[in-house]
Amino acid sequence: MDYKVTTRNEIETIEIAQNLESEKFPNMVICLYGDLGSGKTVFSKGFAQALGIDEPVTSPTFNIIKEYMGGEMPLYHMDVYRLDGNVDGVGIEDYFNKNGVVIIEWADTIAEYLPEERLDIKFKVIGEDARNLVFIPHGRQYEDICEAIL
């Protein structure tokens, strides 16, 4: 089952991310999909803030992976757009078992490497600041989270 939410501004997108963070668990994987400027990094910032990470969270486009260790648990924030589907030597799959939360922007570019159990969130711009977010849980734990917060 898919879950749909409309946010009307960045604050509402951040609130959704913070609600999701309250349900976090070790090895949680969140995959973000959407066009440039659709709210993926805003969501990631909101999640990181709720996790207690004080340092600025930016899109890791040129780093591929940014590790944030200053919160309640590690956050591994990835932007895999530049990999063009080639993850050789990056070790992305290793992060799925590091007892932190993994957030992957542009996850569709590495679909074949994603874990079976994960939460997909698709962002669609519907107005200047408004977004439709579609949550697609893969696995019972992610279904339970969507039921709890949406």
Among 86, 43, 90, CA closest to 63:
90
Predicted confidence band of residue 52 (pLDDT cuts 50, 70, 90) = very high
Mean pLDDT of all residues belonging to the chain: 94
Instruction: Retrieve residue 12's tokens.
Output: 């509402």
Q: Are 82 and 55 in contact (CB under 8 A)?
A: no
Average pLDDT, integer, range 21-30: 97
Among 87, 97, 131, CA closest to 29:
97
Average pLDDT, integer, range 45-60: 92
Helices H / strands E in the chain, number of each: 4, 7
- The pLDDT value given to residue 58: 85
Query: Considering only 1-5, 11-15, 58-62, 107-111, which range has the smallest mean pLDDT?
Result: 58-62
Give the C-alpha separation, 100 to 77, whole Å. 10
Residues of the chain above pLDDT 70, percent: 99
Structural domains in the chain, sorted by start: 3-149 (3.40.50.300)
Q: Would the pTM count as exceeding 0.85?
A: yes
Q: Are 108 and 80 in contact (CB under 8 A)?
A: no
Tens digit of pLDDT for each residue in 87-139? Answer: 777 889 999 999 999 999 999 999 999 999 999 999 999 999 999 999 999 99
Average pLDDT, integer, range 23-35: 97
Asked whether residue 85 carries a pLDDT value surpassing 80, the answer given is no
- The pLDDT value given to residue 89: 76
